Amino acid sequence: MNKDKAMQRLLRSADIPAIPPKGVRERIFDRVISMEIKPALSPVEKFFFTNPLRAACAIAVPATGLLWAATGGNFIGLLSGLIH
Amino acid sequence: MWTGTENRRVLFTGLYNQSFDYVYSYVFARTAGNRQLTEEIVQETYAAAWLSLSSFRHQSSCRTWLCSIAKNKLRESYRKAIRREKLEMPDGPVPEDLPDGADLEALAFSRETGRYVLRVLEEMNPLYRCVLIMKYMDAMRVKEIAKALGRSPKAVDGILQRAKGDFRTAYLKLEGRDRNEQG
């Protein structure tokens, strides 16, 4: 354990303040600040656009229920009515 | 929540000025003093911070927040270096005749110690270097290092033993050579 502590002490001695070369601070700042920020999606937009399949499933279930209710629980009757 | 771009910019500027030296030094030590890599990682860190500034909740200090971002960027760079150099992590047994590091305990620390450490780390195999940094600078456990590098704890343990041996040999050689030159 002491050997590990000696190694730790030695490696941590390198964790000291470093002086950045002249101009680095300004250069990084300018590059970062010029990056474009994309507007974040709202929860509704995320729901539709990040996983469209999930949205499609969520819409399909109530739509099926509505159709089911509108046809009186008789899809076959609706289909045959449409055909004739 | 930051409504205007100007508010955002002001907040970021304050945060940047307050933390830059600290974050730069943090990354500098963990890249073994590689200035170019340090600049890249510091830039990536602040870019990530700039783009997700609204998620900073002030529950931790800005330094802690930025260092956690930098830590992730550093790990990415370690993984890239390992992949680039196609370094293998052997699962085999650890050699038993490795130096035990007892002579490191007797070392006297000087102002030059940190500089020597960085020089030795810089010249090491990147795989050994990143494992040593994660273990001894960041105090990560072997399991955590293994997870970060996507390897088995056994493989990481073997690498760590070899890395310690290599580091010790190179460090003592460098320190001795320097002492002889001065003497």
pLDDT in tens, B98-135: 555 556 666 666 677 888 899 999 999 888 999 999 99
From chain A, the residues in CB contact with B50 under 8 A are 32-33, 35, 37
- Residues B140, B148: contact at Cβ < 8 Å? yes
| pLDDT one-digit tens code per residue, B35-84 | 999 999 999 999 999 988 877 777 778 899 999 999 999 999 988 888 87
B172 Cβ neighbours under 8 A, 6+ residues apart: B103, B104
**In this predicted structure, what is the pLDDT of residue B2?**
47
* Higher-scoring residue by pLDDT: B40, A78: B40
Overall average pLDDT of the A7-35 stretch: 91
From chain A, the residues in CB contact with B117 under 8 A are 10-11, 13-14
Query: How many residues does the structure list for chain A?
Result: 84
- Residues B99, B165: contact at Cβ < 8 Å? yes
Half-sphere exposure in the Cβ direction for B72 (13 Å, CA): 10
**In this predicted structure, what is the pLDDT of residue B96?**
53
Question: Within the 103-122 window of chain B, which residues sit less than 8 Å (CB to CB) from chain A?
Answer: 104-105, 107, 109, 113-115, 117-118, 121
- Burial (0-12, 13-18, 19+ Cβ within 10 Å), A55: middle
Kindly write down the DSSP assignment for every residue of B105-116, as one continuous string.
HTPPP-TTHHHH
**pLDDT class of A79 with cuts at 50, 70, 90:** confident
